[in-house]
Amino acid sequence: MAFVPGQPVTAVVQRIEIHKLRQGDNLILGFSIGGGIDQDPTQNPFSEDKTDKGIYVTRVTEGGPAEVAGLQIGDKIMQVNGWDMTMVTHDQARKRLTKRNEEVVRLLVTRQSLQKAVQQSMMS
């Protein structure tokens, strides 16, 4: 997933549709994100490329909506409802995920195991 600035990024992605859970007045997705172009990418424990300022899933509530939908810790979020998430600030990503009028969030995510699986299948 290393990317070269200016070049298109290619990644194996999985679509994940999360139905938000109502908790009190809030709609929650049940995961937390880290990263963003305004954050220090070297602190991201999940990225292979430590210059990657993408948005990553840092925690997933066990049994929560995100986990049920298949989201996993360490997933890199590429898009949210069609919006690019590879070049956004942390807060922009958070807001995009927490729109109050959206009960369903569709993500495109990539993760190392997906990449590897594809590589392996291509090799074999």
Partner 1 sequence: MKDLACTSDSPVHEQSPSNQTSIAMMQEPQEMVEETVTVEEDPGTPTSHVSIVTSEDGTTRRTETKVTKMVKTVTTRTVRQVPLGPDGLPAMDGSSPMGSYTDSIDRRYLKNGERYITPQASSTLTRSYNSYNDSYPESHEGQYRPYLGHDGYGDLSDNYGSLSRGVGYRPRYAYVPGSAYRPDDGSFTLPSRRDNYGPVAQPQVPVGSNADLNRSQPERFQPEPYGLEDDNRSLGVDDEGYELDPDYSTVNRRTSAGVPERGRPHKGRGYEEPMEPEMVEERIPYLHGGYAAPLAQPERGSMASIDRLGKRSPSIDSIRKDPRWRDPDLPEVIAMLSHPIDPVKSNAAAYLQHLCYENDKIKKDVRHLKGIPILVGLLDHPKPEVHRKACGALRNISYGKDNENKVAIKNCDGIPALIRLLRKTNDMEVRELITGTLWNLSSYEPLKMVIINHGLQTLTNEVIIPHSGWESEPNEDSKPRDAEWTTVFKNTSGCLRNVSSDGAEARRRLRECDGLVDALLHALQSAVGKKDTDNKSVENCVCIMRNLSYHVHKEVPGADKYQELDAGQTTGTGGSQKKKKDDAGCFGGKKAKGKKNGDLDRNFDTLDLPKRSEAAKGFELLYQPDVVRLYLSILTESQNFNTLEAAAGALQNLSAGNWMWSTYIRATVRKERGLPVLVELLQSDSDKVVRAVSIALRNLSMDRRNKDLIGSYAMGELVRNLPSRQQRSAKNLEEDTVVAVLNTIHEIITDSSENARSLIQTQGIQKLVAISKSSQSPRETKAASHILQMIWSYKELRNALQKDGWNKSHFQSVSAALKGSKGPAGRSGYDDSTLPLVEKSQDNEKSGSRDMIPMDELGPDGYSTIDHRDKERKYKSSDPSGDASEKEPLKNDTNRKNINRSNRASVNLVDARDIKPQPVDSWV
Q: Is 108 in the site for partner 1 (CB under 8 A)?
A: no
Bridge partners of 110?
Answer: 76
Contact pattern from residue 27 through residue 66 relative to partner 1, giving x for each residue in contact according to CB under 8 A and a dash for the rest: -xx-xxxxxx--xx--xx-------------xxx-xx---
Indicate which single residue of 15, 19, 50, 116 sits in contact with partner 1 (rule: CB under 8 A): 116
The helix/strand/coil state of 77 is strand
- 5: which 2 tokens? 């600035």
For every residue of 9-32, DSSP letters joined together read P----EEEEEE-EEETTEEE-SEE
Distance CA 60, CA 52 (A): 21
Residue among 101 and 124 whose Cβ is closer to partner 1: 124
First-to-last alpha carbon distance for the chain, in angstroms, is 21
Indicate which single residue of 67, 79, 92, 106 sits in contact with partner 1 (rule: CB under 8 A): 67
Distance CA 89, CA 108 (A): 17
Contact pattern from residue 75 through residue 94 relative to partner 1, giving x for each residue in contact according to CB under 8 A and a dash for the rest: ---------------x---x
Which residues of this chain interact with partner 1, rule CB under 8 A?
Answer: 28-29, 31-36, 39-40, 43-44, 58-60, 62-63, 67, 72-73, 90, 94, 97-98, 112-113, 116-117, 120, 124
